[in-house]
Chains A and B, each alone.
Chain A
């Protein structure tokens, strides 16, 4: 066995919360956050479209910020709070972003959708929804080959209005 292999197969302990639930896992240092979610925790909402930061299908929130989970090593998420698409609906009630995606028909095959929704949520909380052009710019890290782009931009704008209205109320 080459020494490199030994190094990779060493284990480290990761403690993190995912959708509010805490986990303590032993992982190899080379395991990505995306593979940890999908293969270890069976949270398969985040998708692997490229595994190298090109498509956004794996987008999750890491301590509230959107990241490509395929580019994050699980070990580096030690102590972090991760939110995935599975963690958005509360008591069976869809999150306003999820609702807006359905209303505006902002998906077809649905494979990019988990990533789009997580990215949309971050785009709104970052305050990047000032105009259609701004939304499109800040949602361009999430590819959609079904090309639901105009509907995605509409859904983000609608969800932003919804969320600021309910905040004001």
Chain B
């Protein structure tokens, strides 16, 4: 029976369509208190006094916690790297204020309403300091002492002599591309419920990696990890915003300890903007030199992104320039601009999302300058091996994806740019999609019961990517069951360790662990039957060798066992927790996005008319959920291209809008039904035993460039500053 690869519907469908699925904020415990944060109203300075009298007089209010009430973090926390700790700076450990919205007090009340009213009644006095708006701060090299983000990739990279090659090239292009800060705005604002029993802590939390939260909270209190349990069956969207451990999680666990009662904190959309960072505003400076046939002679890409004054978050946006195209002379560099703002963070799609916007736009400009089709320019520069290391890719079928995408879109037959449809001028554009592939150490347990039902257990979390469905399919395939006979238990650190749900690495990593565990169970069942495992197959609750066949029940019954259970692991070389592919076989996903837009030049309106994405992303385990994920990514990219921007107000030192009204994100009316997704047949055996790779972020790469390129095609205006809003189309 082949069940991986089938487009089955989501197994958590009934739970999610009936309201039965419980998210962190849906949890409640007897005796719990509701917490509301009191945010700082200044971006820099010190708290000099807090008047909580009115708040404390509010009926229902139990405590108002300020810095002096909080426990100090245990030195163990210094051993946790940052990430997964989001930031080294923890509010309410002193009186310092380093960004607007930073919590300076916490109100705890029996009910939510008095907690909210009391938080508004607290008067805070500050001594203000001068603050630095990050966007205009000088661009400086990252400081390796300011957190560990700058160590996640090479800050600078040099191969050959890019400057000389560009200077000598007959066709040259130099341009700056910019993009604003963007907040992930998952529909579920972060929430956490923390409860202590003696020295044991349980938290119900909205996360993308349970064991990381467990480890960090244990370190905060100097406890063993076994003393902390994290429960998170469903997370209401993450997109990076819940990938790491942010201060509100630590503060809530501390508050619960101080008052000796369970404490629940559900961040408001406004507090979410202060407590969890955005993808940072950044600039890209690109220079390209090409030969007359279009082949790149030299490429330089330098970025600068905003960060906080406390940690250096580096958005490695120049990575595409050392990964997308064959070129002998490449220089990349990353810098940061430090200011008084919440620390930015990873957001779908980190690094390659920003970088593919800049590089994908520059390649289009170069194609125009050369007078060649942008797709042909890509084909001329196809990277057969990884340009950075010179090593062969784990697998890559980009040429097939180009062909499939172009065929479905009708790229070669597309209407001439600027063709009219009523008021609308039509334009088409394309760009490369690609995302680096992370792999994570993961484990899982599979239990097979006599009646032929199986259980998969692993501590992974469900953020909507469908792991509970796909892993049931993987186990079902190994055990010859229907996926509906497989129950998946996840979202609890009492279960075997799973890697995170980010970096597009869950399916590949945890899925491989599930597969190994299931195969072991099958092997043990075969051994019990007295058969060599490799000679057996399993189907419909039976194990078969040649023309002998026995039911699972018969084999387990004869052995006197109620069930068989095995653990499986996906281990990385050297026992590493994470890598970016097998040594000598760098792993990436690839693809191309083709879009058709309409532009109304009189009103400056921009509309998506249709899109085709074609991808080389390894084996697809469930085409139905995979298609949804790619469509979601393309729409995420449309938001980046045409709508999303969080602006830092430089006079007040705060985000201008902290809601879903002042920051536009795509709605249903923005998105036409004509979005097509195709995957080329591929099995990437070098990335993992499933042959699969990650797709969570791939879909959102390249889209902004394809849209900007289509806008140019439609009306001849090149927008190099995202998002492409009417003002920019009218001002040009």
Interface residues of chain A, those whose CB is within 8 Å of chain B, are 1-2, 5, 8-9, 28, 30-31, 35, 38-39, 42-52, 54-55, 57, 84-86, 88-89, 94, 98, 101-103, 105, 107-114, 117, 132-133, 135-137, 139-140, 142-154
Top 5 nearest A-B pairs (CB, nearest first) are A45-B19, A111-B236, A109-B464, A108-B464, A110-B16
Please give the distance in Å from B159's CB to the nearest CB on chain A: 37
Question: Across the interface, do B187 and A49 meet the contact criterion of CB distance under 8 Å?
Answer: yes
Q: Tell me the interface secondary structure of chain B in the complex.
A: loop
Question: Nearest residue in A to B189 (C-beta to C-beta)?
Answer: A49
With A50-B660, A143-B665 known as contacts, the answer to whether A31 contacts B57 (CB < 8 A) is no
Question: Across the interface, do A48 and B266 meet the contact criterion of CB distance under 8 Å?
Answer: yes
* Known A114-B19, A144-B187; further 12 A-B contacts with Cβ < 8 A: A39-B111, A44-B23, A45-B19, A48-B189, A51-B268, A51-B269, A107-B464, A111-B234, A111-B237, A113-B16, A140-B669, A154-B673
Of B6-14, B296-304, B439-447, the segment with at least 4 beta carbons within 8 Å of chain A is B6-14
Question: Across the interface, do A88 and B661 meet the contact criterion of CB distance under 8 Å?
Answer: no
Interface residues of chain B, those whose CB is within 8 Å of chain A, are 9-10, 12-23, 25-26, 28, 54, 57-60, 111-114, 117, 121, 184-189, 234-239, 266, 268-269, 462-466, 624-625, 627-629, 631-633, 635-636, 659-661, 665-673, 675
Please give the distance in Å from B626's CB to the nearest CB on chain A: 10
Question: Across the interface, do A148 and B113 meet the contact criterion of CB distance under 8 Å?
Answer: no
Question: Across the interface, do B188 and A30 meet the contact criterion of CB distance under 8 Å?
Answer: no
Once bound together, how far apart are the Cα atoms of A35 and B26, in whole Å? 11
Question: Across the interface, do A44 and B114 meet the contact criterion of CB distance under 8 Å?
Answer: no
Task: List chain B residues, Cβ under 8 A from A114.
Answer: 19
Question: Across the interface, do B669 and A136 meet the contact criterion of CB distance under 8 Å?
Answer: yes
Task: List chain A residues, Cβ under 8 A from B114.
Answer: 9
Q: Residue B188 contacts which of A54, A88, A111, A132 (CB distance < 8 angstroms)?
A: A111
Once bound together, how far apart are the Cα atoms of A158 and B22, in whole Å? 27
Question: Across the interface, do A136 and B16 meet the contact criterion of CB distance under 8 Å?
Answer: no
Q: Residue B14 contacts which of A28, A54, A102, A142 (CB distance < 8 angstroms)?
A: A102
Once bound together, how far apart are the Cα atoms of A140 and B669, in whole Å? 6
Sampled A-B contacts (11; CB under 8 Å): A35-B113, A39-B111, A47-B25, A48-B189, A51-B268, A101-B17, A105-B624, A110-B464, A117-B17, A149-B667, A153-B668
Question: Across the interface, do A145 and B185 meet the contact criterion of CB distance under 8 Å?
Answer: yes
Q: Residue B19 contacts which of A44, A101, A146 (CB distance < 8 angstroms)?
A: A44
Question: Across the interface, do B12 and A110 meet the contact criterion of CB distance under 8 Å?
Answer: yes
Question: Across the interface, do B665 and A8 meet the contact criterion of CB distance under 8 Å?
Answer: no
With A109-B237, A150-B673, A151-B628 known as contacts, the answer to whether A47 contacts B23 (CB < 8 A) is yes
With A113-B16, A114-B19 known as contacts, the answer to whether A149 contacts B671 (CB < 8 A) is yes
With A43-B19, A109-B188 known as contacts, the answer to whether A149 contacts B635 (CB < 8 A) is yes
With A31-B113, A147-B632, A151-B631 known as contacts, the answer to whether A108 contacts B466 (CB < 8 A) is yes
